[in-house]
A and B are shown apart, each in its own frame.
Chain A
Amino acid sequence: MLKEDRRLQMLERIIKEHNYQKSALLEVLHAAHELYGYFDKPLLTYIAERLNLPPSHVYGVASFYHLFKFRKPGEHVISACMGTACYVKGVEEIITAIEREFNIKRGGSSPDGRLSLFVTRCIGACAMAPNITIDNEVVGRATKEVVLDKIRKVLGG
């Protein structure tokens, strides 16, 4: 983490807006996660120092919530919704197909770092289940064929 990093300046500004209050930790974590895409140790230590909190507390809070990532995600992120409706409508099959085709495990990234596959717990679009998100674009009423095809396109282009 470089000191001259612009993202760090933005983060600092947000921390300042919250008056360095300890209770703003979750808000600050959100901002940092949005800026960096994931948390690493220097980033969490930095937040801990600025809010005058023990690093263990900051890590404890950050790791409690499922939204935050602790590993750098791949260039393209696939997120499979594992809500009840999606599960009942067979999202598991689509996930397995993605794992097989792109040699990737849920929660991990492909060896070349181009693709990550995550499983989320419901994005609240249950009437269109099953849902797969490809780089923030939701594919509703997803089928194995459509999803695999879209991922191939994303990777190819």
Chain B
Amino acid sequence: MVLKPEDILRIAREEAERQRSYRYRINVCCSSGCLPFGALQVLKAFEEAIKEFGLQGECRVSRTGCVGTCSVGPVVLIEPGGYLYQNVTPENAREIVKSHIVSGKPVKELLYANEAFFKKQLRLVLRNAGKIDPLKIEDYIAAGGYSALIKCLTKMTPKEVIDEVIASGLRGRGGAGFPTGQKWNFVAREKNTPKYVVANLDEGDPGVFANRTLAEADPHAIIEGMAIAAYAVGAEKGYIYVRAEYPLAVQTLREALKQARSMNLMGKNILETQFSFDIELRLGAGAFVAGEETGILASIEGRRAMPRPRPPYPATSGLWGKPTLIQNVETLANVPLIILNGGSWFAKIGTPKCTGTKCFSLTGKVNNPGLIEVPMGITLREVVFEIGGGVPSGRRFKAVLVGGPSGGCLPESLLDLSIDYESLTKAGAIMGSGGIVVIDDESCMVDTAWFFTDFCVDESCGKCVPCRVGLLKMRNILERIMKGEGRLEDLDILSELGEYVRDVSLCGLGQTAPNPVLTTLRYFRDEYITHIFDKRCPAGKCFRSQVSMKEAP
């Protein structure tokens, strides 16, 4: 089927109209958060109940991606009105249909009552999450999807696209925060061809699932963003590098690519224009370092995911030595919105230096864990205590880990810190790919630092000495302290080693891996001292034999 831009716009109109004709839309979250709790059975129960009451023409039941409130799954969103039901069972389904749909009375006891969770959020990247069926491309198109790509292909030159992205101030959401438009410019300027676009979905940080959820909920936003990027830089081939540990995300992306191809939105001469672009999926196999930009390249080429020194940067010499644009999937999902609404609209969101929003996985000892999206510049306190609802009762807030295993543990006194790249880095943490783990007084900070260091020891690729040897030494010292055999000079050695590993490691993994140790030494030094002098763990965690978690090969 050969489609033209106007065909897509027509499909969008028709599909939107068709959806408006339903009196109710019942969206059952079937993402990896709700599936283990029986989301598919709930979906089936709704379909059966709709049939039972003869409402097929009036209601649409669909499976969708994540709404965000993963802790109360399975959740069901009923539109219009945005009624969100929590902990829904198949038995509840019939009751909800009977009362809400037939009699117009929402079942109050089952509604999600926690409005604070959504109040401070701004869902741009997650605009469609929980609202559209990720396995139906028509849903995405009806929600305005692919119109940004059409706008680029029919009305804008590649340079204009890049200028718009530059004007938006969008920065890479993978963690480093490099200006996206500038990166595109570098690749676009290269004369060497072919060029490649790589979408990074190797979310290897434990405690982080924002990218996964995005791919499961709205795969076409990633694909459209990639296509626009490819048009802007002049690439014809793209790869999405996704973790194999995310089977649902893999399956959703695979299906989405198939549908995009069938609608002429991918492949040769997209929508009868001069632009050709196709995407291949590549599966990761469990290596944290594969998320590093030169590591990902090695992995796609079928090698060990070992980073290499830069320059040359991937923009000049990436996949098979060709110019390559590497972006995190969240960055790419922002792009269609920027094209449609303009760079200056986007630049007004967030802070002047950090525009837009950021998705975070909010987990750990917090009342409302889940997936959130907030404007840059929001404070950690707002995230932990307002959106997250604070620490479960009976416990006291101790620290918040921002930025994954190589992020930093920040104490209560820093909770008013604004969330943006610069202030986080200044406090010793990083944005990372967006993990916020709340830690309460049940956790020991030395043990926590050990956990992350152990993770990084395990994940170090071993190529450069500071990371390979330095981290191991640091872990051994931490173990000694935890066993009650620590000495005061250990603390100086730890800081010195940490700074050394941070300053001279080859890649991002080594450069950030000491962060948990350095920040806990900075903000929770007294806990280390109690371990060393009093031979006591304030949280009662340590002084048992720690077994290394390394899996035997």
Chain A positions within 8 Å of B, measured between CB atoms, are 21-27, 29-30, 60-61, 63-68, 70-71, 82-89, 106-108, 118-129, 131, 137-140
Contact = CB atoms under 8 A, between A and B. Distances in A.
B302 A122 contact: no
Given A66-B285, A84-B206, A140-B37, 11 more contacts: A26-B285, A64-B461, A65-B286, A66-B286, A66-B551, A84-B401, A84-B405, A85-B364, A88-B364, A120-B286, A121-B286
A118 B547 CA distance: 14
B79 interface: no
B365 interface: yes
**Secondary structure dominating the interface of A:** mixed
A68 B461 CA distance: 16
Interface residues of B, number: 63
A140 B36 contact: yes
A26 B551 contact: no
22 contacts: A23-B302, A26-B283, A26-B285, A65-B286, A65-B287, A66-B285, A66-B551, A68-B285, A85-B206, A106-B551, A121-B206, A121-B286, A124-B245, A124-B246, A125-B36, A126-B363, A127-B70, A128-B36, A128-B70, A137-B36, A139-B36, A140-B33
A71 B552 CA distance: 9
Q: Which 3 A-B pairs have the closest CB atoms?
A: A83-B206, A127-B70, A84-B207
B374 interface: no
A111 to B, nearest CB: 16
Contact of B364 (A24, A84, A107, A108): A84
A88 B443 contact: yes
- From A107, A118, A128, A129, name the one whose CB has the most chain B CB atoms within 10 angstroms: A128
B164 interface: no
Interface of B: 32-33, 35-37, 70-71, 73, 203-209, 212, 243-246, 282-288, 299-305, 320, 361-365, 369-371, 401, 404-405, 435, 437, 439, 443, 448, 451-452, 455, 458-459, 461, 547, 549-553
Nearest to B547: A106
A86 B206 CA distance: 9
B527 to A, nearest CB: 16
A13 B230 CA distance: 32
A107 B551 CA distance: 5
A126 B369 contact: yes
Nearest to A126: B363
A132 B172 CA distance: 33
B363 A127 contact: yes
A51 B30 CA distance: 39
Contacts of B246: 124
